[in-house]
Amino acid sequence: MKDNHINKTKLHVCVICAETIKPKLLGLDKDGNKHYWYDGNNAEPIANGKCCDNCNSFVVLPQRFTDLQMSIMERK
């Protein structure tokens, strides 16, 4: 297995908290090269851009659930 490092030129900054988004290891290819996901999560509806896992879990997803609940209540 090869020792691949994270490509720092592909790192993004969270549009919500301004911290660096940590890449996620997707797995290894047949040659043992590591592949990473660098793009984080969709920050909508809080912001336009990408966000880190922490902001996605504690800011974005709760807002999406609230928006969904409000939409359901408006239909009644």
Query: What integer pLDDT is reported at residue 5 of this predicted model?
Result: 86
Inform me whether the pLDDT recorded for 4 exceeds 70: no
- How is the chain split into domains, by residue range? 8-75
Task: Give the model confidence (pLDDT) of 17-71 as tens digits.
Answer: 999 999 999 999 999 999 999 999 999 999 999 999 999 999 999 999 999 999 9
Full-model pTM: 0.84
Q: End-to-end distance of the chain based on CA atoms, in angstroms?
A: 57
Q: Which one is predicted more confidently, 38 or 2?
A: 38
45 Rama class: left (phi>0) / alpha (psi -120 to 50) / beta: alpha
Task: Give the model confidence (pLDDT) of 9-22 as tens digits.
Answer: 999 999 999 999 99
Residue found under tokens 């922490």: 54
